[in-house]
Structure 1
Amino acid sequence: MNQPSPLVSEQQPATSAFSLRFSEEDIGIITIDVPNEKVNTLKAEFVEQINQILQQAQAHPHLKGLVFISGKPDSFIAGADISMIARCQQAQEATELAQKGQAIMAHISAFPVPVVAAIHGACLGGGLELALACHGRICSVDDKTQLGLPEVQLGLLPGSGGTQRLPRLIGAPRTLDMMLTGRTIRAKQALRMGLVDDAVPQAILLATAIERVKQGRRSNASLPWSARLVKGPLGKALLFHFVRKQTRAKSHGHYPATEKIIDVVKTGLDQGRGNGYQAEARAFGELVMTPQSAALRALFFAATALKKEFGAQAEPLPIKKVAVLGGGLMGGGIACVTATKAGLPVRIKDINQQGISHSLKYSWDLLQKKAKRGYLKRAELQRQMMLISGTTDYSGFRQVDLVIEAVFEDLALKQQMIHEVEENASQHTIFASNTSSLPIHEIARGAARPQQVIGLHYFSPVDKMPLVEVIPHAQTSAQTIATTVAFARKQGKTAIVVGDSAGFYVNRILTAYINEAARCLLAGETIEHIDRALVDFGFPLGPLQLLDEVGIDVGTKIVPILEAAFGERFAAPAGLEAMLADDRKGRKNGRGFYLYAPKGQKRRHKRADPSVYKLLNLTPKNKQSAQQIADRCVALMLNEAVRCLDEGTIGSARDADIGAVFGIGFPPFLGGPMRYIDSLGIVNLVKKLQLLEQQWGARFAPCEGLLQRAAQGRKLYP
């Protein structure tokens, strides 16, 4: 392919995010580069800037076409500026914002010469809507290049024409899948589905886009047969019926954006794009005002702010090499994300070669899945696997900057690990314990360098769960804290710094919740009824199924530690020990609250194991409503979360919400336990707890912090 001619005639308004230059072939190159920002995001003031730049381009004699390209190294346009949406006070303001976005995209779409988007990096939300308004799209074949419309994750829908343009480009079935899940699409997948016209190496991205301009406008490629099939009245009716039914089954009516997306896409297909655009802008305005979107946007802002913090006033030390003690499920997962996400060499130490082999297989299987789906090249798979090595001794530990211990929850064993690492590693090596419950100061007792001992609590499965808790003890240095937080972030994790007390934050509130679910079971409520009640409330899994997934043996090990630290409210429900006595560990050994198919087979429908009732000497009968069960379990979690905040176990309401949502799947549309308490009203929560206390016992007594805030009319968030 010929390289483009040199670019000449630069024009750039002083404060604009858009600059324009022309090639000798009269093709305009519009570079998007938002000043003082790492990534490009669309802002309200850009409407006028884009209009101006398009007018300048149109005034150029003999203009042949335009190319939009980013001036950022790894981002096309990452979406709209969310704070712009948050400033809207009324639905009409948000509707007008959407209408302005639609107008500028219409201007691009109606431009008299071909317009092509040259996409490298994130092309999301409003960024993809701009690309869809262009007459062609070329993207780079790069892992950083991802295309998507993730607005549903903020309780919104695409508001600048995306709901109308995308179905006509790739068909309604794929459009609905992208919009309802918010998932992103890689370059080759985007090419296969017709979302882009070509996918090329970044080095020739601009040249290819210019060549695409020279080819002139093209009519859209024919839709796949599945999309053509649903264009008829019957096919369309069946598609939207099926999608709506499937979406409601997943959302349980908690996410109004999903219904609006389906309605708006259908309106455009049934009544034409004009009506579709009107429906899109109106729905966008209505969704911005929903409490669900407000909660989801608050979580977005909280997670964004957290990325800029390191938990201590210190400069993080560079981590170049890592070691993991223990080749079990957790150790294997930690090693995997260290190599594949952080890109760091990691050495696994286990007492035997079998443990190392299991750990290596964990990473190999995950990378194989990515390679089969086209997300990873074979050469890259091999490169990442070569970052992981194993040993049955401490060879290589002198070069390690950070050791992560993932052995059994045994205090003496963990203390022994510290002594051995201090003898075999460097003076600067940080020791991080992946304990889920044992206080870090106890683990660090007797350490030669206690300032370099810290907790780093991952959640299972490590490759999927986004949260880690970073737990310093009283002697942990600020530099150790900052370095550990920075490392966790490099692994792709959201890190919250929590206090050094039994169970820390996430497991403490989770245990209160699961204990109450177990009490409901032991009172005769059925397994499915309990779990369905909490799934209907908004959790991704019911508490008993969650215990099966975590491991009943692991999940119940923390209970006596919490009871010893905080008293009787954490006492295990009498009778539940029969599950462990019957060797029921959950999914991992195929014996738990639910039935599991033999290894290698799939069970189509998850069913509770009826033998559990006999084992627990129960006659199952549902006496409480789903709402009553949810109230009991959630109320204890909320009460304990406020205790954690007031005791300093969690540093802020913001961190408490992030920890609960990212760590245990607290319903995101509620914004987290603290934001949910504020929305309920603290006075109302106190009344509910007092009523539950009368019915079920002293464990429901509202904590002092709730009582004080109720009396003073204060909220958890200012």
Structure 2
Amino acid sequence: MRDNMENPNIPEIIPAEPVSAFSLMFTAEHVGIITIDVPGEKVNTLKAEFAEQICTILQKTQQYPNLKGLVLVSGKSDSFIAGADITMISGCKTAAEASNLAQKGQTVMSQIASFPVPVVAAIHGACLGGGLELALACHSRVCSLDDKTQLGLPEVQLGLLPGSGGTQRLPRLIGATKALDMMLTGRSIRAKQALRMGLVDDAVPYSILLQTALERVAKGRKSRPPLPWQARLAGGPLGKSVLFHFVRKQTRAKTHGNYPATEKIIDVVKTGLDQGSGNGYQAEAKAFGELVMTPESAALRGLFFASTALKKEKGGDAQPLPVRRVGILGGGLMGGGIANVTATKAGLPVRIKDINQEGIRHALKYSWDLLEKKVRSRRLTRNEQQRQMMLISGTTDYSGFAQIDIVVEAVFEDLSLKQSMVAEIEKNAAPHTIFASNTSSLPIHKIAEQASRPEQVIGLHYFSPVDKMPLVEVIPHAGTSAQTISTTVSLAKKQGKTAIVVGDSAGFYVNRILAPYINEAARCLLAGEPVDHIDKALVNFGFPVGPIQLLDEVGIDVGTKISPILVEAFGERFAAPSGFDAVLKDDRKGRKNGKGFYLYGQKGRASKQKQVDPTIYRLLNVTPKAQLSEEDIAQRCVMLMLNEAVRCLDEQVIRSARDGDLGAVFGIGFPPFRGGPFRYIDTLGAANMVKTLEQLAQRYGEHFKPCEGLVRRAEQGEYCFPAEGLAGEVSEKVSKV
């Protein structure tokens, strides 16, 4: 905005009296510029009190003589409007109150849409949720070509739907098919794609964004009219019927009925197209109110608040050291993935050290292939691909490591090897260089045992594939300095990761709660439950993949390496069921060698209809027959995970229940609509969990015995989130639903 105002091509701007988050100016050519700049906030979000302010400023503009039109811009440097204030939504106590909030938003948008002169939105940066709904209400939209510019309606990710007219305006602008895709996935659209689909009327360099919007008003350029009804309805009544049937079927296949917002979105869009926008707006406001009150939305909003709070934390009180260059030890799958996110997300130079050139080539190809996909999908230019690749270099010695600030070690899970890596880095890198080990199981204090600077040794556990999995566990040992912790957390954030600080104990947090879950699925299999029946039970519960398929994906050999370490530390409750070792003895490692519980074709690719390898049953000497219900299987596996999560909290393996929820959701795909293990425990109630575990212990063994912390919570009526009063609210809502 400021840069544009200094542009001599833009007419003189005459300031008017500012009104709170909205200020008004007029150009010499009689165009009003409304700047949105929420005081004290990094980004603009829409709040309930803004409704009156917007109405006031619109009335003020109409008093200006010879007004030709209005341009809406953001006063923030990197965003337009990031959405509605979620705390405002969470403050609603009833569905009627939330519906009324939506109706107020609809009224404001309607006033913009019916404004007597053209209103143009000049969009730069994030234009999401309520921000896009506001832009849709404008008569025309112009956006910048900057990478920061993204347009989307992500409300579904919070268990909601667009509540300020978005479900009605978007289908009429770009067609029902594309609109439903945007709303049901919550995905964001880049500038060029937005232009191609008709979401915006022009896309220009940021330097001329305001000028272009002003000229559009001055020359009386109008947006293209809404699509004719045939296009909106995908080819008339028959096409509409086919479209909505297909979309509903496809959506249910993905959500398994666990996300009520998706059904509401489809219903409300259909209502508007069938019965007119008036009825559509009413249906939208009603559905919005109902969704705000669902336990699913409460859980998803809880995760949103938790992850937002975590982003503001440094992992401790110490100020992080600046990280200018990063070293990677090992050019394998993990090393290549870590190098990729360091270069492409953090924008930092990366130096990969491997014992041979083949490892370096493998790591470089890993990044090149990922960037190539972005180029082909037009999300990245060739020049940018080359620029990012130039940040990654390789060596078979330690040349260049004297300038490295932090080294991430990603070699084999061998303690003596990792200890030797620490010694080599202390010898060849700078005195301040941090050594971060990407280990999934080895204790960090043992890796640092022979270090001369143990305070600079820490664990940094990534999950595979690194470019997709959002979580990292930061694992300090007792001697790790506070500055090492904060610097490591800072690097992880730059890499685009959600970082939780966990204790230095066997399995850390994620693998520790995952192990009993996987083991119980294995016991079900050895008892004769079919592989796909077990997996389907947990997918329907809400996990992205079932436990047996997950074992295939991460590597059966990897899973078996962790089990003995957990048994040594915590006892027989972590022991894999006897007879299951036959899988590994048969050289079944899963997808990576094309031989596991499922059938794989060339290069470890599974068929579209994933099929179980029937020879697995002969190998395990079982006759597959489904005897347990999906609910029983899910209960057995999940209850053990929840029980172990409580132990981790009480043993301070995790710093808080919040961190435990984020770690499980982002690390192993615990169902987000359930909020994470601890919010789910509060939903069930500790007393109910203890009763269930005791019943399971009687049927299946002592490993189901409820832990002391859970028994105490049951006896004393405690919750994992006592300060929030969440448990009672959610339990009440669950019982009503």
Structure 1 residue aligned with 2:732? none
Q: 2:101 aligns with which of 85, 97, 100?
A: 97
Give how far 1:575 is off.
1.5
Q: Supply the distance in 2 between the matched residues of 1:428 and 1:476 (Cα, whole angstroms).
A: 13
Alignment partner of 1:75 is 2:79: yes
Distance 2:470 2:118 in 1: 42
Q: Which residue of 1 aligns with 2:557?
A: 553
Q: Indicate yes or no: 2:14 matched with 1:9.
A: yes
Please give the residue correspondences for 1:128-147 in structure 2 after superposition, counting only pairs within 5 Å.
128-147=132-151
- 1:223 Cα offset (Å): 4.8
Residue aligning to 1:322 = 326
Deviation readout 1:478-526 (Å, 9 max, x if unpaired): 0000111111000000000000000000010011111110111111111
- Tell me the distance in 2 between the aligned counterparts of 1:226 and 1:544: 47
The verdict on how the C-alpha distance between 1:223 and 1:390 changes in structure 2, with shifts beyond 3 A counting, is: farther
What is the aligned partner in structure 2 of residue 524 from structure 1? Answer: 528
Could you say if the C-alpha distance between residues 36 and 485 of structure 1 is closer, same or farther in structure 2, counting changes exceeding 3 Å?
A: same
Q: Identify the range of structure 1 (206-215 vs 493-502) with the bigger mean alpha-carbon deviation.
A: 206-215
Distance 1:215 1:602 in 2: 57
Q: CA deviation at 1:599?
A: 3.1
Q: Does 1:458 align with 2:447?
A: no
Aligned partner of 1:655 in structure 2 is 659
Alpha-carbon shift at residue 601 of structure 1 (Å): 6.8
Equivalent of 1:354 in 350, 358, 380: 358
CA shift, 1:11, in A, is 1.8
Identity %: 75
Write the distance in 1 (CA, Å) between the matches of 2:23 and 2:232.
40
- Return the letter of the residue paired with 2:677: P
Aligned residue runs from structure 1 range 609-628, under 5 A:
609-628=613-632
**2:491 matches 1:487:** yes
Give the distance between the partners of 2:226 and 2:479, measured in 1 at CA.
Answer: 66
Give the RMSD, CA atoms, in angstroms: 1.4
Q: Which amino acid aligns with 2:424?
A: E
Q: Distance in 1 between matches of 2:202 and 2:440?
A: 48
What is the aligned partner in structure 2 of residue 375 from structure 1? 379
Give the letter aligned to residue 47 of structure 2.
K
Once the two structures are superposed, residues 654-687 of structure 1 have per-residue CA deviations (whole angstroms, 9 ceiling, x without a partner) of: 0000000010000000000000000001100000
2:29 is matched with 25
Match 2:583 to one of 537, 555, 579? 579
User: How far 1:584 moved relative to its partner?
Assistant: 1.0
* Equivalent residue, structure 1, for 2:730: none
Shift of 1:374: 0.9
Partner of 1:301: 305
| Structure-2 residue corresponding to 1:183 | 187
Cα separation, 1, equivalents of 2:653 and 2:620: 35
Residues 1:39 and 2:46 are matched in the alignment: no
Describe the shift of the 1:481–1:70 C-alpha distance in structure 2 as closer, same or farther (beyond 3 A). same
Matched, 1:313 2:332: no
Q: Contact 2:140 / 2:223 at 8 angstroms: preserved in 1?
A: no
* 2:603 partner SS: coil
Match for 2:696 among 692, 696, 711? 692
Equivalent pair of 1:34/1:41 in contact (CA under 8 Å): yes
Q: Does 1:513 align with 2:511?
A: no
Q: Find 2:294's aligned residue among 283, 286, 290.
A: 290
What is the aligned length?
Answer: 717
Matching of residues 258-273 of structure 1 within 5 Å: 258-273=262-277
Tell whether the 8 Å contact from 1:12 to 1:18 is kept in structure 2 after alignment: no
Distance 2:347 2:313 in 1: 22
d(CA) in 1 for partners of 2:51, 2:589 = 58
Query: Which residue identity does 1:114 align to in structure 2?
Result: P
One-letter identity of the residue aligned with 1:639: N
Partner of 2:473: 469
User: Residue 333 of structure 2 contacts residue 363 of structure 2 at CA under 8 Å; is this kept in 1?
Assistant: yes
Q: Distance in 2 between matches of 1:411 and 1:240?
A: 56
State the distance in 2 between where 1:72 and 1:46 align. 17
Task: Write the letter of the residue equivalent to 1:134.
Answer: C
The answer as to whether partners of 2:118 and 2:222 remain within 8 angstroms in 1 is no
How far, CA to CA, are the matches of 1:78 and 1:449 in structure 2? Answer: 44
Q: Distance in 1 between matches of 2:255 and 2:612?
A: 22
Unaligned stretches of 5+ residues in structure 1: none
TM-score, reference length from structure 2: 0.96
Describe the shift of the 1:575–1:323 C-alpha distance in structure 2 as closer, same or farther (beyond 3 A): same
CA distance, structure 2, for counterparts of residue 5 and residue 670 of structure 1:
52
Return structure 1 stretches of 4+ with deviation > 6 angstroms.
Answer: none
Q: CA deviation at 1:210?
A: 1.0
Q: How far 1:375 moved relative to its partner?
A: 0.7
- Indicate which of 680, 684, 687 corresponds to 1:683: 687
Amino acid at match of 1:30: I
1:196-218 residue CA offsets vs partner (Å, 9 max, x unmatched):
00111100000111122124253
Counterpart contact for 2:32–2:67, Cα < 8 Å? yes
TM-score relative to the length of structure 1 = 0.98
Asked whether the equivalents of residues 30 and 66 of structure 2 are also in contact (C-alpha less than 8 Å), the reply is: yes
Aligned mates of 2:260, 2:519 — CA distance in 1? 32
The AA in structure 2 aligned to 1:318 is P
- Compared CA separation, residues 224 and 338, structure 1 to 2 (3 A): farther
More displaced 10-residue stretch of structure 1: 549-558 or 677-686: 549-558
How far did residue 580 of structure 1 move?
1.3
391-400 or 3-12, which moves further after superposition? 3-12
Cα 1:461–1:393 change in 2 (3 A) is: same
* C-alpha contact (below 8 Å) 1:170/1:223 kept by paired residues: yes
The answer to whether the 8 Å contact 1:5/1:25 transfers is no
Q: How far 1:569 moved relative to its partner?
A: 0.2
Q: Would the alpha carbon gap of residues 468 and 541 (structure 1) be closer, same or farther in structure 2, given more than 3 Å must change?
A: same
Quote the Cα distance in structure 1 between the aligned partners of 2:587 and 2:362.
Answer: 23
Distance of 1:661 and 1:26 partners within structure 2: 52
Change (3 A) 1:700 1:391: same
- Contact residue 337 and residue 366 of structure 2 kept, 8 A: yes
- Letter of the aligned partner of 2:576 in structure 1? A
Give the equivalent residue in structure 2 for 1:84: 88
Deviation of 1:12 after TM superposition, in Å, equals: 3.4
1:366 corresponds to: 370
For residue 221 of structure 1, report the CA deviation from its aligned partner: 5.2
Q: 1:569 to 1:600 in 2, by over 3 A?
A: closer
Distance 1:391 1:12 in 2: 61
- Please tell me the residue identity of whatever aligns with 2:483: Q
Contact 2:89 2:98 in 1 (8 A): yes
d(CA) in 2 for partners of 1:128, 1:334: 34
1:668 aligns with 2:663: no
